[in-house]
Amino acid sequence: MGLIYALLLILILACVIGIIYIIYFNKLQDCKVKIDEAESIIDEALRTKYDTLIKTTNIIKSSIDDNKINFKDLESLKEENISNFDLERKLNDSIILIDKIKEDYKEQTDTKDLRSLNNEIKRADEKISAAKKYYNKYVSISNELVRKFPSNIIAKLHGITIKNFFDGKDMNDDILDDFKF
């Protein structure tokens, strides 16, 4: 009789552990799916932003007869293998350059096409901003689960690690250049 109770207790304990395992594993997987969704939205919006910036630079080049103006950094991005963090920063740097050129050559660059492309860039930025918030929200939840017991054990078993937030700041290094405003 004591053996039956011991086996029953072990069986109940195994079921409870199994249920806890399944619950936390599913939470980790939900976060992974939502993070992947946000990454794909960010990828798409960054591609759209890049293509729009290329169109913008082509219009600027055709309307300004200055050979000094070039967008080598933007044009060479296609060949570079960089992260979305870095791509977004470089695209934003290109936007700053384009805005300066528009300031210097107001008459030549004040066209309907450029205003339309500028609106496309703003829409892409809004999409990126929303997707970054969504991404960072679920990265935060995932990182919390990876750090806390008992989900940290499940995360280690499945190779799930801490993810960086989309702002690109690595809090574990001594590099201060990634804290741009």
Question: Considering the domain boundaries, does residue 33 fall inside one?
Answer: yes
What's the pLDDT at 175?
52
Q: Does a structural domain hold residue 74? A: yes
Residue 131 has pLDDT above 70, yes or no: yes
Res 109 pLDDT > 80: no
Predicted TM-score of the model (pTM): 0.80
Q: Higher pLDDT residue, 133 or 109?
A: 133
CATH number, position 142: 1.20.1440
**Is 173 a domain residue?**
no
- Centre a 10 Å sphere on the Cβ of residue 180 and count the other Cβ atoms it contains: 11
The answer to whether 145 and 34 are in contact (CB under 8 A) is no
Residue 66 domain-assigned (yes or no): yes
- Residues 149-180: pLDDT tens digits? 999 999 999 999 999 998 755 444 455 555 44
**Residue 145 falls inside a structural domain:** yes
Asked if residue 141 is part of any domain, the answer here is yes
Q: Is residue 142 part of a domain?
A: yes
pLDDT for 168 equals: 53
- Domain count for the chain: 1
CB 38 within 8 A of CB 133: no
Task: Find where tokens 């934003």 sit.
Answer: 92
* Nearest Cα to Cα of residue 133 among 34, 53, 33, 52: 34
Tokens, residue 16:
């409870």
Domain span at residue 99 reads 26-157
